[in-house]
Amino acid sequence: MFGFMKPSRRTSSEPALSVPDVDGGKPGGSSPASYKNDFADSGGLESQSVPELENYAAYKAEETTKTVNNCLKIAEDIRGDATRTLEMLHQQGEQIHRTHVMVSDTDKDLGKGEKLLNNLGGMFSMPWKPKKGKEITGPLTVSDKPAKASKEQREKLGVAPAPKGKSGARTPPPEQSAAMQKVEAEKNKQDDGLDDLSNILGDLKGMAEDMGSEIDRQNKALDHLSDDVDELKDRVKGANQRARKLLG
């Protein structure tokens, strides 16, 4: 449906570098609780050793990756809702079109009835010519589907950005500690997640534009349908009055 879909890279599926286990039992040690309060219970950041700060940086990088993934999940859910909304709009447009076709068919049947009433009136020296206003033309355009091009089709048309290449696994310099390698790996995951988020936001923008165009089209179709229904209602009323006179 409506394309725009691009599988997002799940950062959790990428291999994670091992980080030395931290000992939560040491005084001023490297427990998650210490990381969360920025070592407030152990003298602050300034009092920590370099390895401790590196482990802290790895912890923070991993937390940031989780935040990016949460944002990505929310954006994917919004895109799913937008896709369903666009599909419902399309179905509504189809219903408007079918209704207008039925009104046009009713107009043709009414024309035959009016001709019959006129012929019957002539037989009783009571000729009658139906009063007509505007012509009922039916739907102005054939039923058309809103933009349902796939992501690839949108890219070929130049209306959607081409997907950015995945950053891939970049091997940190060997002289870095395991904790700093973990930081670099998490940064790569964050870059990939942010690229996916950017693409989804682009999808949402395109879908919003499609929704606006479809709503405008349906508003015009409803205005035209309303005019034809009003005209048909007046003619049906006149035909009923004529039939009662002939029968009376």
Give the pLDDT confidence score for residue 120 in this predicted structure: 77
Say which residue, 168 or 62, is predicted with more confidence.
62
Question: Position 198: which residue type?
Answer: S
Q: Chain-wide mean pLDDT for the chain?
A: 77
Whether the predicted pLDDT of 243 surpasses 50: yes
CB of 94 closer than 8 Å to CB of 192: no
For a pLDDT cut of 70, what percent of the chain falls above it?
63
* Counts for the chain of helices (H) and strands (E), in that order: 4, 0
Give the three-class secondary structure for 134.
Answer: coil
Q: For residues 6 and 137, which has the higher predicted lDDT (pLDDT)? A: 137
Query: Of 242 and 3, which is predicted with more confidence?
Result: 242
pLDDT tens-digit readout, 42-66: 666 666 778 888 888 888 999 999 9
**Predicted local distance difference test score (pLDDT) of residue 47:** 65
Q: What is the per-residue pLDDT across 171-224, written as a single tens digit (0 to 9) for each?
A: 555 677 888 899 999 999 999 999 999 999 999 999 999 999 999 999 999 999
Is the pLDDT reported for residue 71 higher than 90?
yes
Are the CB atoms for 197 and 75 separated by under 8 Å? yes
pLDDT of residue 174: 60
Return d(Cα 154, Cα 157) in angstroms, integer.
5
Whether 104 has a pLDDT exceeding 60, the answer reads yes
Q: Which two three-digit tokens encode residue 148?
A: 């349902």
The b-or-e profile of 39-67 (16+ CB within 10 A means b, else e) is: beebeeeeebeeebebbbbbbebbebbee
CA dist 170 → 7, 163, 182 (Å): 22, 20, 11
Q: Domains of the chain (ranges plus CATH)?
A: 50-140+179-248 (1.10.287)
pLDDT of residue 20 exceeding 50? no
Higher pLDDT, 152 or 74: 74
| Alpha carbons 114 and 243: distance in angstroms, whole number | 9
Residue 14 has pLDDT above 50, yes or no: no
Q: What's the pTM value of the predicted model, to 2 decimals?
A: 0.65
- CA distances for 96 relative to 90, 225, 241, angstroms: 10, 8, 30
For 119-123, 147-151, 209-213, which range has the lowest pLDDT when averaged over its residues? 147-151
Residue (of 45, 1, 17) closest to 146 by Cα position: 1
The alpha helices in 149-177, defined as continuous H runs, are 151-156
Give the single-character DSSP code of 176: S
Smallest CA-to-CA distance from 86 within 245, 218, 211 is with: 211
Give the pLDDT mean for 7-33: 48
pLDDT attached to residue 101? 95
